[in-house]
Structure 1
């Protein structure tokens, strides 16, 4: 990061314009990189085979493709089968509040919202957007 940005206590139009331009360049670069990746995968699929790792060299550059795989289980059908096989020890029982029902209980007067104040957490995230307006 340039020192000018670190020491600056004001934001001027030039800063916003630069951010806007860089963001547009970033989007274009990401779009082109994704197109190239897709092309590389198509080429390697046809030359080496789908889901096969491989590499090729062109001039001073080497393209490598790695294949990562993970085994996942459909939660609902796996739990159902485990219950049928009486393998409940292989099932994680997770207790967590049903927020929709809790908030409905507040509205209906079944539970006092103030009793849950110490349980509440607020998650905040910061986001920056710069848009070009008029002119």
Structure 2
């Protein structure tokens, strides 16, 4: 059964207020994190783990590191060293050209309909309407 759900003005107003508070809280959290990082950078050095203890509270900074290879430069070096076994050749459709060909009528859109994924997202935006 399809049950009808009511939405009240108070619920919309509450959403609006909470969303506004969320933005303010996120901004304040960002400022505090920035201050903690600046303090730790000055006291123990940049990109170093450390902690601040004040009363019953502790701020602990963790340092995480990740690396990746820049595709173009790495492929070029692998080619130069004749290490083509370390290069993945990937076949991908040129979707821009395909879409253009469909628009111009060179390709039938129905032929590729089962190949296409369409992503649909929903968003809620609440604004205050002053009367």
TM-score, length of structure 1 as denominator length: 0.89
Aligned residue among 15, 33, 37 for 2:29 = 33
- Give the whole-Å Cα distance in 2 for the aligned partners of 1:82 and 1:8: 62
Q: Over aligned residue pairs, what C-alpha RMSD do you find?
A: 1.5
1:92 alignment partner, one of 88, 95, 104: 88
Q: What is the aligned partner in structure 2 of residue 59 from structure 1?
A: 55
Match of 2:109 in 1: 113
| Structure 1 spans left out of the alignment, 5+ residues | 1-6
CA distance in 1, matches of 2:29, 2:89: 43
SS in 1 for 2:101: helix
Residue matched to 2:9: 13
Structure-2 change in CA distance of 1:98 and 1:65 (3 Å): same
Q: Specify every segment of 5 or more residues in structure 2 that has no aligned partner in the other structure, as ranges.
A: none
In structure 1, the partner of 2:46 is 50
Q: TM-score, normalised by structure 2?
A: 0.92
Aligned residues: 129
Distance in 1 of aligned mates of 2:66 and 2:37:
19
CA apart distance, 1:8: 7.9
Aligned with residue 72 of structure 2, among 65, 69, 76: 76
